[in-house]
Amino acid sequence: MKLLEDRIRQEGIVLPHNVLKVDSFLNHQVDPELMSAVGKEFAKRFADKPVTKILTVESSGIAPAVMTGLALHVPVIFARKHKSLTLTDDLYTADVYSYTKQTTNKISIAKRFIEPNDSVLIIDDFLANGQAVEGLLTIADAAQIQVQGIGIVIEKTFQKGRDIITKRDIQLEALAQISSLENGQVQFAN
Ligand code: 5GP
């Protein structure tokens, strides 16, 4: 997606340990117009799938997920990373190791927001080693719901996330693919 690649080229900052900082439009400040375009693009790429809900993880997955839900006219559920006073229902949970924070979080979704005939699309901001997506797949498996596809805003193709997902034979769409961040330079896969 050219619009997104241009923004990464203009505003992305390469940090140590292969981390790309894009907090001017995705991870801190959010550009609603860009996110709207992202949502429409995911809706187009998964147009033939019977999606009833979008699944993501707080916090950086929420903006692209909500815009995709808007484009597909379906609700968005975000897995929560922290215990909450209001999150007291029966929960589906999974452990997720965070690449950027180097900590393990338990992510949870209240069972009452998942129905047996749900068919979900997973959306997230980044795909690195696939831990966040794997956590959501674990929850989908536990809830016995179908995963119709996985939409990623920025994939780092030099990390192993895609391998984990392709083993499951699920359609994976990434709107920008980065093949290297070596020497502080962003290289796109295409
Ligand atoms: P994974 O679980 O695939 O290893 O990593 C995905 C999660 O880690 C994303 O949801 C994102 O929050 C974070 N992440 C991984 N790599 C990067 C990166 O290069 N930049 C930013 N900003 N976040 C990243």
Domains, the chain, with CATH or none: 32-179 (3.40.50.2020)
In whole angstroms, how far apart are CA 100 and each of 16, 17, 48, 103? 10, 9, 34, 8
Instruction: Tell me the pLDDT of the chain averaged across its residues.
Output: 95
In the reported structure, the alpha carbon of residue 179 is separated from the centroid of ligand 1 by a whole-number distance in angstroms of 15
ipTM: 0.98
The crossing angle, in degrees rounded to 10, of helices 32-45 and 62-72 is 60
Element (H or E) spanning 180, and its range?
strand 172-180
Instruction: Ligand 1, residue 124: give the atom nearest the CA.
Output: 10
In the reported structure, the alpha carbon of residue 31 is separated from the centroid of ligand 1 by a whole-number distance in angstroms of 18
* Spans of the chain below 70 pLDDT: 83-89
In whole angstroms, how far apart are CA 150 and each of 12, 41, 91, 99, 167? 23, 13, 22, 19, 13
Residue 56 Cβ inside 6 Å of ligand 1? The answer reads no
Cβ 17 vs Cβ 46: under 8 Å? no
In the reported structure, the alpha carbon of residue 155 is separated from the centroid of ligand 1 by a whole-number distance in angstroms of 9
pTM above 0.80, yes or no: yes
